[in-house]
């Protein structure tokens, strides 16, 4: 095996407002050759930078992993895929809940990491206080009971960024990262999307071997011929070496983010490697009730990229209801189309679009068929709307709540469906207009409604204390002395 050192693949993680994106932007703009940084497209969420370390230019690949809590699944995968992680913590705020979440993802992935205290240029920055907050949460830095390297950085001035990149490279050197460039390429899918010009595309990170034009790549059941390779700048290259992020087009289906890929020299070999696992869930839409009797809310989900699909599903999994289950019967990348609406019509599903448009024909068909299409750009607004729909879809159950009980002492008059009688309070509350059950020695006789209540011949609205009272009940039951009256109310839930 001809192993040679390879550049580290780095994930930057942490709380959403702690300057992760600003740090990545500064590193990209400062360390990518002039004129090239602007060529990175929105969904090619990785890039290479060059940093001079101990007199030698060294390459580092950065993954632009999402920082929001909603994207925890992808973030955890980013940590798994990365060789080194940078945990960002704002010097003005210290450790936050999402910081702990990112730290846990890094630890679960057993990824070596360094800490970057960001925003040190801010007036409220206090690195010493921020360092103390790491200790309080079990993140032990060098010199403070642990071995985790750290430095302060400013994404505005660039202060501390070279030192941070030095720490990343030192951490990577300890890991002794190597690859064999003579092998067929392997790695993972960072992101995939439907490109209007190039069709199904995926950003791959090569972790081992060399990916060359003319070969084939396989990720899950998805296969693509490598007709061309684009680097992170959008330039076409003949081959990709370990740790390079590259764009490959022409996939048979969209491989989900995080899927491992392998290269093959021929289509036949590639198809042999391809698994039979389906990307799109295709649960029979006719079954609208679960095994435990829950009603099903069927959803057809369309999003801009596969990473968004995973994040949305992660959020929807948090929605729990005792009588309704959410079922994604179809998912995909790209605009909401006529086929989606037809499938929704056949399955009584709603169509949810996330940062995608709706075809005109699909919109017109939905209006004619009464199919609900809802579009969102913010994942939590989507989640809140689904929670509303779950509540609307939930079947209503009625139950009886016992309010009070009394014993019939004497019947004074019974005519016209109304009975006047005397009774003695036993428990609870008997209110005017309450529903009442009549029982005789525990056997139900029927029910009625209280139309009048009196104590000492004075009208009252409620009886709730021990004693005798008079009442009138509207009922068809032939009530007799000794019968039991039970007031109740119907509760819907």
Would you state the pLDDT for residue 275?
52
* Residue at 249 is within a domain: yes
With pLDDT > 90 as the criterion, what percentage of the chain qualifies? 47
Residue 74 has pLDDT above 60, yes or no: no
Average pLDDT estimate for 177-199: 86
* Residue at 227 is within a domain: yes
* Residue at 92 is within a domain: yes
DSSP state for residue 8 in the 8-state scheme:
P
130 shares its domain with 37: yes
User: What is the DSSP secondary-structure string of 414-430?
Assistant: EETTEEEEEEEEEEE-E
Residue 48 has pLDDT above 80, yes or no: yes
Quick one: pLDDT band at residue 277, thresholds 50, 70, 90?
A: very low
CA-CA distance, 167 to 298, in Å (whole number)? 49
70 shares its domain with 149: yes
Residue 68 has pLDDT above 60, yes or no: no
Quick one: pLDDT band at residue 285, thresholds 50, 70, 90?
A: very low
Residue 92 has pLDDT above 50, yes or no: yes
CATH number, domain of 302, equals: 3.40.50.10050
Quick one: pLDDT band at residue 188, thresholds 50, 70, 90?
A: confident
Tokens of 193: 């999307």
Quick one: pLDDT band at residue 24, thresholds 50, 70, 90?
A: confident
Tokens of 329: 């019967």
314 shares its domain with 376: yes
HSE of 237 in the Cβ direction (CA atoms, 13 Å)? 17
Domain holding 68, by residue range, is 3-178
Quick one: pLDDT band at residue 286, thresholds 50, 70, 90?
A: very low
* Residue at 222 is within a domain: yes
3 state SS of 355: coil
- Counting the structural domains of the chain, the total is 4
15 shares its domain with 158: yes
* Residue at 372 is within a domain: yes
Residue 222 and residue 279 in contact, taking contact as beta carbons nearer than 8 Å? yes
Residue at a domain's end among 336, 363, 393: 393
pTM of the model: 0.59
358 shares its domain with 407: no
Question: First CA to last CA across the chain, in angstroms?
Answer: 67
Residue 255 has pLDDT above 70, yes or no: yes
160 shares its domain with 196: no
**Model pLDDT for residues 406-460, shown as the tens digit of each residue:** 999 999 999 888 999 999 999 999 999 999 999 998 898 999 999 999 999 999 9
31 shares its domain with 109: yes
DSSP state for residue 141 in the 8-state scheme:
B
CA-CA distance, 464 to 460, in Å (whole number)? 11
CATH number, domain of 482, equals: 2.40.30.10
46 shares its domain with 187: no
235 shares its domain with 344: no
Nearest to 75, CA basis, from 167, 124, 13: 13
Residue 360's CB is within 10 A of a number of other CB atoms, namely 9
Residue 33 has pLDDT above 80, yes or no: no
232 shares its domain with 316: no
90 shares its domain with 133: yes
* Residue at 290 is within a domain: no
75 shares its domain with 95: yes
CATH number, domain of 37, equals: 3.40.50.300
* Residue at 454 is within a domain: yes
Q: What is the mean pLDDT of the chain?
A: 85
* Residue at 283 is within a domain: no
Would you state the pLDDT for residue 81?
76
More confident residue, 23 or 285: 23
């Amino acid at each position: 095996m001809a192993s040679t050192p390879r550049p580290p693949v780095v994930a930057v993680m942490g709380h959403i407002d702690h300057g992760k994106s600003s740090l990545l932007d500064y590193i990209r703009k400062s360390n990518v050759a002039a004129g090239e940084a602007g060529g990175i497209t929105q969904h090619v969420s990785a890039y290479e930078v060059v940093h001079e370390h101990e007199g030698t230019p060294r390459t580092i690949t950065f993954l632009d992993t999402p920082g929001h809590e909603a994207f925890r699944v992808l973030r955890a995968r980013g940590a798994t895929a990365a060789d080194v992680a940078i945990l960002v913590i704002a010097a003005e705020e210290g450790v936050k809940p999402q910081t702990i979440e990112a730290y846990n993802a890094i630890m679960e992935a057993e990824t070596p990491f360094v800490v970057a205290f960001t925003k040190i240029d801010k007036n409220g920055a206090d690195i010493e206080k921020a360092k103390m907050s790491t200790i309080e949460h079990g993140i032990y830095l060098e010199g403070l009971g642990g071995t985790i390297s750290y430095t302060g950085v400013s994404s505005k001035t660039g202060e501390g960024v070279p030192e941070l990149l030095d720490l990343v490279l030192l951490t990577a050197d300890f890991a002794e990262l190597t690859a064999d460039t003579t092998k067929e390429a392997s790695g993972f899918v960072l992101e995939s999307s439907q490109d209007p010009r190039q069709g199904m595309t995926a950003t791959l990170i090569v972790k081992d071997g060399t990916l060359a034009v003319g070969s084939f790549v396989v990720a899950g059941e998805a296969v693509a011929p490598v007709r061309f390779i684009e680097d992170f700048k959008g330039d076409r290259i003949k081959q990709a070496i370990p740790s390079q992020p590259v764009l490959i087009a022409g996939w048979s289906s969209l491989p989900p983010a995080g899927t491992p890929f392998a290269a093959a020299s021929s289509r036949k070999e590639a198809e042999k490697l391809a698994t039979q696992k389906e990307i799109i869930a295709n649960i029979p839409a006719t079954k609208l009730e679960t095994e435990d009797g829950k009603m099903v809310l069927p959803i057809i989900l369309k999003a801009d990229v596969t990473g968004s699909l995973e994040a949305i599903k992660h959020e929807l999994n948090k929605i729990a209801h005792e009588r309704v289950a959410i079922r994604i019967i179809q998912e995909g990348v790209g605009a909401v189309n006529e086929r989606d609406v037809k499938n929704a019509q056949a399955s009584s599903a709603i169509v949810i679009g996330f940062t995608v448009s709706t075809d005109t024909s699909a919109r017109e068909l939905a209006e004619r068929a009464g199919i609900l299409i809802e579009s969102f750009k913010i994942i939590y607004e989507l989640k809140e709307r689904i929670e509303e729909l779950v509540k609307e879809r939930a079947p209503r159950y009625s139950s009886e709540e016992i309010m009070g009980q009394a014993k019939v002492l004497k019947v004074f008059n019974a005519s016209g469906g109304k009975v006047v009688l005397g009774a003695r309070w036993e428990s609870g509350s008997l209110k005017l207009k309450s529903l009442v059950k009549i029982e005789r020695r525990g056997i139900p006789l029927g029910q009625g409604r209280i139309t009048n209540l009196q104590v000492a011949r004075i009208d009252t609205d409620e009886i709730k204390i021990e004693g005798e009272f008079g009442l009138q009940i509207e009922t068809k039951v032939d009530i007799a002395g000794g019968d039991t009256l039970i007031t109740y109310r119907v509760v819907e839930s």
